[in-house]
């Protein structure tokens, strides 16, 4: 009795290939959604950080300017206004060229007014 070896190719069945592609597609979709959510979070946080940086810069300029005012009465003046049920307080001080005047090329002293609006 002679047995002829059957020449079968070993490989993946179509069902195994479809399952592998489905698993890879699910993983790719999950990674895409994760990256997309992180990019949205980064965009929102960078906008908030930029807004905070602008206010921090203004606060630093005002703090430096007001700390350099001469001591005594009348260096820092202000009025409390209310217009259309909205507060519009105003602060005035005298300064020369520099951060308070927002230019360094002015000659002399100027009265700077800052009106706060809510």
pLDDT in tens, 42-87: 999 998 998 888 889 888 888 888 888 888 777 788 877 777 877 7
DSSP 104: S
**pLDDT tens-digit map of 10-32:** 788 999 999 999 999 999 999 99
* Distance from C-alpha of 94 to C-alpha of 29, rounded to nearest angstrom: 62
DSSP helix/strand/coil, 59: helix
- pTM score, whole prediction: 0.51
**Torsion sign, CA atoms 78, 57, 65, 112:** negative
Instruction: Of 57, 58, 116, 51, give the one whose Cα is nearest residue 86.
Output: 116
């Amino acid at each position: 009795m002679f047995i002829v070896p059957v020449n079968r190719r070993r490989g993946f069945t179509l069902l195994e290939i479809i399952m592998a592609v489905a698993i890879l597609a699910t993983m790719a979709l999950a990674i895409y959604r994760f990256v997309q959510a992180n990019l949205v979070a980064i965009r929102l946080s960078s906008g908030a950080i930029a807004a905070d940086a602008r206010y921090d810069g203004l606060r630093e300029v005002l703090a430096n300017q007001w700390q350099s005012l001469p001591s005594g009465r009348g260096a820092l003046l202000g009025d409390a206004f209310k217009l259309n049920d909205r507060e519009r307080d105003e602060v005035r001080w005298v300064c020369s060229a520099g951060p308070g005047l927002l230019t360094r090329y002015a000659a002399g002293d100027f009265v700077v007014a800052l009106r706060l609006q809510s």
